[in-house]
Homo-oligomer: A and B are copies of this chain.
Amino acid sequence: MQTELSKQLGVEHAVFGFTPFPAVAAAISRAGGFGVLGAVRYTAPDDLKRDLDWIEAHIDGRPYGLDVVMPAKKVEGVTEADVEAMIPDSHRQFVRDTLAKYGVPELAEGEASGWRITGWMEQVARSQLDVAFDYPIRLLANALGSPPPDVVARAHERGVLVAALAGSARHALKHKAAGIDIVVAQGYEAGGHTGEIASMVLTPEAVDAVAPLPVLAAGGIGSGRQIAAALALGAQGVWLGSLWLTTAEADLHSPALTRKLLAAGSGDTVRSRALTGKPARQLRTEWTDAWDDPHGPGTLPMPLQGLLVADAVSRIQKYEVDPLLGTPVGQIVGRMNDVRSVQAVFDDLTRGFEQAVDHVNRIAGRSGQ
């Protein structure tokens, strides 16, 4: 499937795959899509460098991109310690009590948390960019608002397209005004940070708001039928994140979490502030229930909540404490029911797309399809 955007980026299919795993990103690009590596977990520039080197060695020269989390609002001179100091003791106690209730073991001395607030801070994102701009990335995506003007300019100087996620037509228009090249319209059903407006409504609204800027549809897409639907809605491609979590190349480090993803239905996710303080869709667990409980302390605003729960989430994941174990994932999780290679998943997408086009042509009475 070819759109103006896929032609511009030199990919065979207008399928953009977001993933934290270099092996998945490379496999998506090799399959004819466009792999986008999520950089938020790279707090050390050398780790990112190592993984981008790996991608370069395994992507057969295909194009790929990077996704960073750069807050739209700049916070000057605030350290992690400053943010730590803003967290109420009662919330820390709630974390301790909840972990104790489920018998979650402590991390070993000096064992780093897997998920740190630092990945969300602008200086870290900038150090990621310093690394990434030495590589031939073709796309830079930002998950929290438009990136700062100097970052957009720096990307454009290098011929790198800039994409930004939007949950409403209003957000999409802000991105356009900020000189962004591609809007990723992230529907309610998507994994991770989402708004309230579902893809069926959001995609065409975003398309019409920012035309002729291209829009990628994100949220609820995991089959060729859904790709055909998104393209019918006017998107120039689709942005898939959840679907790759259960591929063979993904490295969740947790067989229990993979089992939960494979078993979950479309109704087993929740849009909760438990992870970061902003609403993000994830597996519903007893952990998210504890934070969403009206009788509990409730969540703190971003970035406090993320910092508050970082170690707890690491402990839950490391020790695979089943009732608490979760991950950001969209409603499409209900269709992620077996572990397959990225190539096999991709082949299903493109074959399913062709079948869906045939199907719609039959309904439309277009013969010769």
User: Which residues of A approach B to under 8 Å, CB–CB?
Assistant: 1-3, 14, 168-169, 187-189, 195-202, 204-205, 219-221, 223, 225-226, 228-234, 265-267, 294, 330-332, 334-335, 353-354, 356-357, 359-361, 363-366, 368-369
Q: Which residues of B contact A2 (CB under 8 A)?
A: 363, 365
Q: CB distance A204 to B226 under 8 Å?
A: yes
Q: Which residues of B contact A228 (CB under 8 A)?
A: 229, 232, 360
Bound: A168/B265 CA distance, A: 10
Closest residue of B by beta carbon distance from A368: B368
Bound: A331/B359 CA distance, A: 27
Q: CB distance B232 to A220 under 8 Å?
A: no
Q: CB distance B196 to A220 under 8 Å?
A: no
Q: What are 18 A-B contacts defined by CB distance under 8 Å?
A: A1-B365, A2-B365, A14-B363, A168-B267, A169-B266, A169-B334, A189-B198, A197-B267, A200-B200, A200-B220, A204-B226, A226-B233, A228-B229, A228-B232, A229-B233, A231-B359, A231-B363, A232-B232
Contacts A225-B234, A233-B225 known; A198 to B196 CB distance under 8 Å? no
Q: Which residues of B contact A3 (CB under 8 A)?
A: 363
Bound: A9/B331 CA distance, A: 33
Q: CB distance A232 to B267 under 8 Å?
A: no
Q: Which residues of B contact A334 (CB under 8 A)?
A: 169, 201, 205
Bound: A359/B173 CA distance, A: 24
